[in-house]
């Protein structure tokens, strides 16, 4: 009888340990009452800081809807993009929601949800180069200077596909764009939704937007490896909002209207 009780106790302890190991970011957020999401709020119109110091944007609104579906509050944890994966690994927040492209390299370190949007890299070039540069291939020459944001696929693509050109990256997008505006760089390499806004907001009359994307980049939420329960929840949430009108409403607010630009001035 003692041996039987001992086995039962060991089995129960093991079951508790397995259950604890399976508890993921979403379960933790529900217990805590707060969903903590890491982001670098400089990526228009996905996540950015308005003139009142509030973080707003397309991805922010999706996360607000997600937190509401969970019955918890949303806490956005501002984190430099080049340190955002290490911050996730040290439990600074529950998952990454910062316009992150699902790449195979990152997928070796993270699990990803299904994409919530697909974008691609585009170019902002100096107006003087409009007749000379027609695509990214024309920039692949050591006489040209490129810029982008450090740690992003803009940097990766610039070095991989336009590697002959000189490259200098910045910690935020605005500095990279202004380098081109001020003639210190020839082209800014970045995601199409950001460049659509940047050419109007910062580069009117000084920049030319080559709008045809030359990469395929699905953006998704990044989680710790093995957190399949959380991925299941997030994917089902994304399916729901894409079919009940919520996603379209949020998308149109940020991509079909420019009213939000007044909040940034």
- Using one digit for the tens of pLDDT, what is the confidence trace for 140-151? 999 999 999 999
Cα–Cα distance between 50 and 28 in angstroms, integer?
A: 30
| Residues near 240 by beta carbon (within 8 Å), at least 6 away in sequence | 69, 246
Q: Quote the tokens at residue 206.
A: 């000084």
d(CA 37, CA 97): 6
Contact residues for 222 (Cβ-Cβ < 8 A; gap 6+): 85, 88, 95, 96, 100, 106, 110, 111, 112
Per-residue pLDDT of 180-238, as tens digits, reads 999 999 999 999 999 999 988 886 788 999 999 999 999 999 999 999 999 999 999 99
Identify any residues that bridge with 242 across adjacent strands, giving them in sequence order.
none
The more confident residue out of 15 and 45 is 45
pLDDT value at 11 more than 70: no
Name the token pair of 73: 């509050």
pLDDT at 16: 43
Residue 20 CB-half CA count within 13 A: 6
Q: Taking 50 as the threshold, does the pLDDT of residue 18 lie above it?
A: no
3-class state of residue 136 by DSSP: helix
- The alpha carbon of residue 69 and the mean position of all alpha carbons in its chain are separated, in whole angstroms, by 21
> How many of the other CB atoms lie within 10 Å of CB of 226?
12
For the stretch 97-139, pLDDT in tens is 999 999 999 999 999 999 999 999 999 999 999 999 999 999 9
- Give the confidence band of 4 by pLDDT, cuts at 50, 70, 90: very low
Place of tokens 């907001």: 201
Q: Find the radius of gyration of the CA atoms of the chain.
A: 22
pLDDT in tens, 225-254: 999 999 999 999 999 999 999 999 999 999
Closest listed residue to residue 87, CA positions, set 38, 42, 48, 25: 38
Nearest in space to 148 (alpha carbons), one of 119, 120, 171, 117: 171
* Phi, psi dihedral angles at 194 (to 5 degrees): -70, -45
The confidence score (pLDDT) of residue 203 equals 67
Measured CA to CA, the distance from residue 184 to residue 182 in angstroms comes to: 6
**Edge-to-edge strand order for the sheet containing 110-112?**
73-78, 34-39, 95-96, 222-224, 110-112
Q: What is the pLDDT of residue 13?
A: 46
């Amino acid at each position: 009888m003692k041996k039987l009780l001992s086995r039962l106790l060991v089995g129960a302890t093991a079951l508790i340990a397995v259950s604890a190991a399976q508890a993921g970011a979403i379960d933790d957020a529900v217990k805590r009452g707060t969903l903590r999401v890491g982001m670098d709020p400089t990526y228009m119109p996905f996540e950015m800081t308005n003139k009142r110091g509030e973080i707003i944007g397309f991805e922010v609104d999706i996360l607000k809807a997600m937190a509401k579906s969970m019955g918890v509050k949303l806490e956005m944890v501002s984190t430099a993009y080049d340190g955002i994966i290490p911050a996730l690994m040290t439990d600074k927040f529950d998952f990454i929601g910062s316009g992150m492209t699902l790449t195979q390299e990152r997928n070796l370190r993270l699990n990803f949800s299904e994409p919530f949007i697909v974008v691609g890299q585009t170019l902002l070039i100096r107006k003087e180069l409009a007749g000379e540069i027609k695509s990214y291939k024309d920039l692949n020459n050591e006489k040209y200077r490129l810029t982008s944001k450090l740690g992003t696929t803009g940097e990766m693509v610039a070095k991989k596909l336009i590697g002959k050109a000189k490259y200098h990256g910045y910690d935020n997008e605005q500095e990279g764009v202004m380098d081109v505006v001020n003639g210190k760089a020839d082209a800014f390499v970045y995601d199409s939704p950001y460049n659509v806004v940047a050419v109007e907001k910062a580069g009117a009359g000084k920049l030319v937007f080559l709008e045809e994307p030359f990469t395929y980049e699905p953006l998704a939420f990044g989680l710790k490896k093995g957190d399949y329960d959380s991925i299941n929840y997030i994917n089902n949430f994304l399916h729901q909002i894409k079919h009940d009108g919520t996603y379209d409403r949020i998308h149109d607010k940020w991509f079909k209207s420019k009213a939000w630009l007044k909040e940034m001035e």
